[in-house]
Structure 1
Amino acid sequence: MAKPTVLMLTPMLPAIVEKLNARFETHWLPGAADPEAVIADAAERVRAIGMFPTGKVDAALMRRLPNLEIVAVAGAGYEWVDMSEAKARSVMVTNAPDALTAEVADVAMALIVMTVRKLAAADAYLRAGRWEAEGPMKLSPGSLVGATLGILGLGRIGHAVAKRAEAFGLKIAYHGRRRQDGVAYAYHDSPEALAEACDILLVATPGGADTHHMIDARILEKLGRSGYLVNIGRGTAVDEAALVAALEAGTIAGAGLDVYEDEPRVHPGLVGLENAVLLPHLASGSVPTRTAMGQAMLDNLEAWFETGKPVSPVSEMG
């Protein structure tokens, strides 16, 4: 029996590449001299697409693949997949909702501490010889002691961050589309109300039109001069121009970001700001976690072709 044909849109770690190539007829766009030729050559045979959540599966690509059955995403987010077209064509879409939760939550807590306590700036201060030349660095204006963490988007990652934050002694509040049953954290019925009630606002929302620029100048004003913004959700949820203006004007005290509106390009106004901690989208960026994400994608592909039922279909699939 012929192996199912899979079109791979993004690189994978070697261990996952080896398994994919053994199980499927794989066609890789990364590194291809002529990606369009790769697609054209395999289009009639392609039954699946695999990718980390940096690939793009739009209607145009799906229409070029008449026998496409499944798009398997090696990550939690899947806003780069045209879900309307997928449903119209009865194409299954899967993701890996649990593989990266703990790792991202760990980095979120690290970013919170780095941002509030100005640890990146402190590291730079020491390395530049300023401690010896100028004496002790100025005290950080913020502290986690007695602070409230507001979580915008209390999903898997939001819950995992909340558990870690409780161990730090932080009080927890949240906003989402609805109040969650069995959750004791303080609920606020709007992003504005949450921003006004917390000291640190953590963005843990998915991407897409519903959350685009949810964090704008108005929300930043509510967060206030002693407030901090941390984003480990999606870069598109934050209006970066408004954030730069708020950081420059002292509208908020600081920001910690792992995601950006136009990756890998970062708003130039952010780069020179000492009150911004900037990470290059690495919250899930460890070999064990990226391997687990790739394995979850592989598990979905194998289950689909063996049983017709994937392990983790996205919620829109019913």
Structure 2
Amino acid sequence: MHNLINEIVARAKANRQRIVLPEGTEERTLKAANLILTDEVADLILLGSPDEIMELATKWGLGNIGKATIIDPTNHPKQEEYALLLCELRKKKGMTIEEARKLVLDPLYLGCLIIKNGDADGQLAGAKNTTGDVLRPALQIIKTMPGITCVSGAMLLLTKAPEYGKNGLLVMGDVAVTPVPDASQLAQIAVCTAYTAKNVAGIENPKVALLSFSTKGSAKHEVVDKVVEAVKLAKALDPNLLLDGELQADAALVPSIGASKAPGSPIAGEANVLIVPSLEVGNISYKLVQRLGNADAIGPILQGIARPVNDLSRGCSIEDIYRMIAITANQAIALNNTK
């Protein structure tokens, strides 16, 4: 399991990215930041009062926090520049410069503006903010990737079953954002999750299965029709992607069942990326695999935003934050390479 994390960290170290941490005075965030800076995994921008951050660093014995760039949201040289940028981005929504000047004081807005302005590569927050508060400025300022309208979340599942996926590693989406995706959104989730599998999980050849309770017409229902339609749309979005559906989970994962239920399928029995038909299925599935199968679930990793912005669980550990900074850096590296 730790091999994957080690690979993710090594890729981040080899191509250091600038990651913004808007919750610069939050204890777990600061402690994780100190470890990241000690290990030279990423260049960090901490948002918060410089005096308070350095005081806390001294209190907790965090000797490397001084290596971060610390920006005070209430007083920094680019305050007006970012306010003008925000006003320009939101003028169609009627935003005034006065409103923009207020919003740039909010670290979650400021972090996204720093990225939009080209002064950072990604952001991680959520240790003390809700998902909605983390996502709102990202969607207003950074927006979605070209051709994508739907943000989703992928989970890396490191299972104890090496015969499945890539030595037991599977990537599942969407487990975090869109409750009932339509066919178009489901197709986008499939393509974005395949990119995450490649760029973060190091799966060179993603084999994507769109899951259902039916395999290739074995059951008839409108929810099956949606998956069938999503397969067509995903193939149009990325014709080079190895992708198939609708497949039941066993047909997607087990070679003998894949061969008998979906003969001729390019990925049946060999899937390493699993796309679930709804958020309900995704959330239930990964938690069952995590608890009953004793798997390590890493994520959710947000995807579909034009620059990486990730959201932490408010119950996250220092280790969770460290991993997610490295993952955010890997997403940024891949996006920089496709520019």
Q: Which of the five TM-score ranges fits, normalised by the shorter chain? A: 0.3 to 0.5
For normalisation by structure 1, the TM-score amounts to 0.34
| Structure with more contact order per residue of length (Cα contacts < 8 Å, sep ≥ 6) | 2
For normalisation by structure 2, the TM-score amounts to 0.32
